[in-house]
Structure 1
């Protein structure tokens, strides 16, 4: 099963991490523009695209309040609203091409599953235990965790909090 994870930056001039997961094989990339992102997704043809960015402009959603305990920031912050606008644009384009797109929050995934570290690169050891290699920077690591969350979604081992996919508590 092919899953794509995207750690989306608010602006195209900033790095966006992409993880293309096909079983235990993972290709991680750092991209910038929407065109680069779309090109990789279309070439890879994933079943699910898991995006680490708000995929709504609703500033009063329950998910943001609930996920605050995992470090989520409010859409009332201007940079988060900018990220949400780009996230919505990416989502709408990919859904228009027929892809299943979900919103994920990698920090919550890592904390729920017990492998969170403030040093993003330290979290790679969790995946290495399963023979999964990848992630050269913090954006690619978050993209890998996003893809992993998408994989859990595909296996029906998830909960949805107001549209945001996170792992079940007792995995």
Structure 2
């Protein structure tokens, strides 16, 4: 059994962080999707499920403006924000803390950008993407939950060697291959 996690991290624990977990045991199914707030809640959930990989929607490397990897995505038609902006700096700092903790308990983390991953998949919606992956998702998900689900699919595809990598000296961001028409 393999577990993949996706996290749409908020810069502040006062705001909701979307988390999704996919269990793959012959076939994939969503075992958790929801919002959490504190770092402790996130670590407790991931510690209980022990995902093989977490795809995190947050910058994993710092920058004062746009990083080279961000510019690479922008040049390919994806809209990302630079980690040097004030709110993004807070997000980076929280992501760096969580990544260190996860690494120490044996969980790997990769960076993703869910809306860019959805666009690169060529699916019209998260629901079409989930259906294409044989992961029927309940309707009415919040934006945070949708982004976490996309990130968990990126984690699964990353582990299978099927994710698309945008790599520069200052970071690497994983998206999805075209999956829909």
How high is the TM-score relative to the length of structure 2? 0.84
Bigger Cα displacement from structure 2, 33-42 vs 56-65: 56-65
Secondary structure at 2:18 match in 1: strand
Structure 1, unpaired ranges of 5+: 117-121
Secondary structure at 1:70 match in 2: coil
How high is the TM-score relative to the length of structure 1? 0.89
Task: Give yes or no for the alignment of 1:67 onto 2:73.
Answer: yes
Greater per-residue helix proportion: 1
Task: Give yes or no for the alignment of 1:165 onto 2:180.
Answer: no
The alpha carbon displacement at 1:132 in A equals 2.5
Q: Which residue of 1 aligns with 2:8?
A: 7
In the TM superposition, 1:1-150 aligns within 5 A as: 1-23=2-24, 24-26=28-30, 27-59=32-64, 60-68=66-74, 69-116=77-124, 122-129=125-132, 130-134=134-138, 136-150=141-155
Structure 2, unpaired ranges of 5+: none
Bigger Cα displacement from structure 2, 104-113 vs 31-40: 104-113
The alpha carbon displacement at 1:56 in A equals 1.3
Equivalenced residues, count: 166
Bigger Cα displacement from structure 2, 91-100 vs 126-135: 126-135
Instruction: Supply the RMSD in Å over aligned alpha carbons.
Output: 1.8
